[in-house]
Each structure stands twice: as C-alpha cells, then as structure tokens.
C-alpha cells in the first residue's frame, strides 16, 4: 500500500532589527531550499525592498512584473509586493475615500493620494498572497524577509486586529453611516464613506479567512530571529522573541550573524572580538534550548546565487533549512483570573532556591549558576513577582498585585 503524505507548506519568517542581514539570510535559505528541489518563494515584507539587490538582478525586470513573483533560478522565485499595484487591486474605494478626506483638508491632491497609503495596507496585501498560495498549494516553502521588528509585529497582529474589528465594530459602523449619510450630506461638506467602502473591507476580510491559523500553526510557520553579537541588537532580539511568543508563534532558531573570525582576534579588532564573544554566550543563555546558529562574517559582500549558496552552507551546515528546527518555547506568558504567570522551561532543572529580581522591564531569574533575563510585557512589568515554584523542567513565576505592590 502506498502511503499518502499530506501536503504541508512551510512558511518561515526571518525577523530582527534593521541591518542585521535578514535579507541575505532569507535569500540564502531560499537558494538552499530550491537546490533541494523544493518549489520556493522568497517574499519581501519590507517597504524598502532589497531582494533584487541580493540576487544582483536588473531592477527594471522587477518593475515590469508589477509586484508579482519572478523566477530567478530553478525552483526559486522572489516577490517584492508593489504597494501601488495592490492598492489599485484591493483597496480601491478605501484609498479613494481617504484621499478625498485629505484633499478636502487642504492637502494637495497628488500628496493626498500618496499619504492615503495607510499603515497595514501593504501587509494585508502580503497576507492575501500567502493565503492564496497556501490554498493553491503553489509552493513547498515560502520565506518571508520581514521588515524591522516593529513592522513585523504589526504584520502578524493584523489578522487578530482585523477579526476583532469585523466582529465588534464593522456592522455597527456600517449601519450608523448608512443612516447618517443623507443627513450629513445636507449639513457638512465632509463626505461619509459610501457602501462600496465597507464592501471592499468585507471582501478583504473574507479573502484573509484562515490566515491566522496558518501563521500560528507550528507545523507550518516558524520564525527565525536574526541578530548580531551586540548589546542593543540583542535587546531588540529579546523584545522580538517576547512579542512573537505572545502571538503564539514558534521561534525555531536564533541566527547570530556577522561574527568576526578568529583570524582577526588580535590587534585592532581584539576588543570587538571580546565583546562579540561575551554577547554570543549571553545569547545562548537567553534563548536555550532554541538552536543558536552562528554565522561568521564573510570576506566579501554576499551578492548573487553563488555567494548566497555559500552563505546558506555557513548558516545551516548539516541542518535542513526547510524543516522546523525547534518547537519548544523557552517561556510562556498566561493569565488566570487576575494573576499573570510566566512559565520558563529549563533543561535538567534541579529543585533549588529560585531568586527573582527586576530591573526596569526585565525579570532576572537565578537558580544556582543559571541566570536568565526575560523581557516582560508592559502589563506584567508593572507587577512584582509574588512567588515561584519548580515543576519538573519548568519554573512557574506568579505576578500578583498592581504596579509593583
């Protein structure tokens, strides 16, 4: 009997602070997947697209493709979503209404049309593509070159926020505007949105159905955080991990990029090397047991298929980039009644005294020689830890009382 294997598309987000090398590593991962025979798409979610530059392509080629996927090698395509094209296709009436409001307020018509591109429009367009590709089983793996951390969080939060708006406010708002529109036309020069405005939003919402389940399914979607061994960047990586965890997304690897090789450990770069070594160790402590992939700084810029293939070898070694590299989260936040809890998983944990302290928005946990810093969400950071207990390989920390009381 032939075993039937269910089709499962993989989606991997490459996220982190701007300038850490997300695009190069996403592109390198795509090259590696395509060479294994997987139908691969790399999609840029950053408004400042640079995938074309990584593959050393002629920019005019992408301009003519109007934001649609373009093949760059066997089994490999890239896509840089074109905001203007997507607005014309998906946001017509919404964009026209916002433009008219801005124009009425005195803003030049051309400028009004440009400013009417609201935050979230491009992200929704990308989500529409992803949802369609999954439904069509068009690719085996989609690699998302994310925008810097803040915009990435907005990207993954859109399905939840839009669902809340549609369930709680949309119908009420639509009915109120329908009743008020005839009266408003007689009293005010500022127009209220026509019904086609609401119909456009409804169509977009319908086409996004199911995307939240795709993004939160650890068998399909995982996040790889890209960082550099520097204090400021590591802090943002912690923050990114916290937010992705709150959205129940699986972080399956942390990639430390641009590590200085041993050959430059003496002389001018010796201090840099010491600093990097310190933050590499700290990264390993912070994110254990998530795999930490270490990537040395290469001797030249990474541009084109050959260089990207070499970079993929440095990133993954014998690992398979298309696989989920890890599924267990180091820590989880939860709420029970009025209390918040933080569960921290620590391998081989012995029952010892747990020491807790706070420094601004960070919780510092010490058990014997083990220490971990956890960045807290704002609503929990105002509370003081009121107790901790150890259960098997997990510390459970309770936060009770408000504002540190």
Least confident range from 237-251, 296-310, 365-379: namely: 365-379
For the domain that residue 369 is a member of, what is the CATH number? 2.60.40.790
**Which tens digits make up the pLDDT trace of 118-136?**
667 788 889 999 999 999 9
Residue 195 lies in a domain: no
Q: Do 291 and 356 fall within a single domain?
A: no
Q: Do 140 and 267 fall within a single domain?
A: yes
Q: Do 282 and 385 fall within a single domain?
A: no
Q: Do 230 and 335 fall within a single domain?
A: no
Distance CA(377)–CA(247), nearest Å, equals: 12
Residue 374 lies in a domain: yes
Structure tokens at 403: 């504002």
Q: Do 236 and 353 fall within a single domain?
A: no
Domain span at residue 338?
331-400
Estimate the crossing angle of helix 270-287 against helix 231-246, to 10 degrees.
20
Q: Is residue 289 reached through a cis peptide bond, with omega within 30 degrees of 0 on the bond before it?
A: yes
pTM of the model: 0.84
For the domain that residue 40 is a member of, what is the CATH number? 3.40.50.300
Q: Of 316, 351, 383, which closes a domain?
A: 316
* Closest C-alpha to 313, from 35, 77, 78: 35
**How far is the CA of 165 from the CAs of 158, 160, 173, 192, 367, in angstroms?**
10, 9, 10, 19, 44
Residue 102 lies in a domain: no
Burial of 17 (C-beta count, 10 Å sphere; 0-12/13-18/19+): buried
Residue 4 lies in a domain: no
Residue 19 lies in a domain: yes
* Closest C-alpha to 12, from 244, 234, 209: 244
Q: Do 266 and 307 fall within a single domain?
A: yes
Say yes or no to pLDDT of 291 above 70. yes
**Which tens digits make up the pLDDT trace of 267-278?**
788 899 999 999
Tell which wins on pLDDT, 74 or 239: 74
* Closest C-alpha to 129, from 83, 73, 60: 83
Q: Do 231 and 345 fall within a single domain?
A: no
Q: What is the pLDDT of residue 112?
A: 64
Q: Do 252 and 374 fall within a single domain?
A: no
Q: What is the pLDDT of residue 264?
A: 80
Q: Do 305 and 335 fall within a single domain?
A: no
Residue 197 lies in a domain: no
Residue 218 lies in a domain: yes
Q: Do 15 and 148 fall within a single domain?
A: yes
Q: Do 346 and 395 fall within a single domain?
A: yes
Q: How many domains does the chain have?
A: 2
Average pLDDT, the chain: 86
Q: What is the pLDDT of residue 405?
A: 39
The model's confidence at residue 61, banded by pLDDT at 50, 70 and 90, is low
Burial of 268 (C-beta count, 10 Å sphere; 0-12/13-18/19+): exposed
Residue 68 lies in a domain: yes
Q: What is the pLDDT of residue 1?
A: 39
The model's confidence at residue 280, banded by pLDDT at 50, 70 and 90, is very high
The model's confidence at residue 92, banded by pLDDT at 50, 70 and 90, is confident
**Which tens digits make up the pLDDT trace of 342-361?**
998 766 566 666 788 888 88
User: In percent, how much of the chain has pLDDT > 70?
Assistant: 90
Q: Do 226 and 370 fall within a single domain?
A: no
């Amino acid at each position: 009997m032939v075993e039937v294997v269910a089709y499962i598309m993989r989606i991997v987000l490459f996220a982190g602070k701007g300038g850490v090398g997300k695009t190069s590593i996403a592109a390198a991962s795509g090259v590696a997947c395509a060479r294994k025979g997987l139908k691969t798409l790399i999609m840029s979610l950053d408004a400042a697209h640079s995938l074309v530059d990584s593959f050393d392509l002629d920019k005019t080629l992408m301009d003519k493709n109007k934001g649609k996927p373009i093949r760059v090698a066997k089994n490999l395509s890239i896509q840089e979503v074109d905001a203007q094209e997507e607005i014309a296709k998906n946001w017509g009436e919404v964009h026209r209404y916002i433009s008219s409001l801005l124009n009425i307020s005195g803003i030049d018509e051309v400028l009004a049309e440009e400013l009417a591109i609201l935050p979230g429009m491009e992200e929704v367009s990308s989500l529409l593509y992803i949802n369609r590709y999954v439904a069509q089983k068009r690719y085996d793996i989609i690699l998302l070159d994310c925008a810097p951390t803040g915009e990435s969080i907005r990207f993954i939060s859109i399905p939840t926020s839009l669902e809340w708006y549609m369930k709680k406010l949309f119908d009420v708002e639509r009915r109120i505007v329908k009743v008020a529109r005839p009266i408003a036309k007689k009293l005010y020069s500022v127009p209220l949105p026509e019904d086609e405005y609401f119909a456009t939003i409804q169509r977009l919402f319908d086409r996004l159905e199911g995307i939240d389940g795709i993004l939160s399914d650890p068998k399909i979607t995982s996040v790889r955080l890209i960082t550099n061994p520097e204090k400021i960047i590591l802090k943002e990586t912690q923050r990114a991990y916290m937010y992705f965890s709150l959205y129940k997304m699986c972080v399956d690897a942390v990639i430390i990029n641009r590590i200085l090789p041993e050959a430059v450990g003496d002389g001018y770069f010796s201090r840099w090397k010491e600093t990097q070594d310190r933050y590499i160790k700290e990264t390993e402590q912070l994110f254990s047991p998530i795999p930490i992939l270490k990537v040395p700084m290469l001797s030249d810029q990474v541009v084109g298929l050959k260089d990207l293939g070499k970079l993929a070898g440095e990133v993954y070694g014998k690992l398979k980039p298309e696989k989920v590299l890890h599924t267990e989260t180091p820590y989880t936040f939860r709420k029970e009644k009025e209390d918040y809890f933080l569960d921290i998983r620590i391998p081989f944990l012995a029952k010892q005294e747990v020491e807790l302290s706070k420094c601004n928005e960070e919780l510092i946990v010490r058990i014997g020689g083990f220490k971990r810093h956890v960045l807290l969400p704002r609503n929990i950071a105002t509370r003081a830890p009121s107790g901790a207990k150890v259960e098997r390989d997990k510390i459970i920390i309770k936060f009770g009382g408000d504002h540190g009381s």
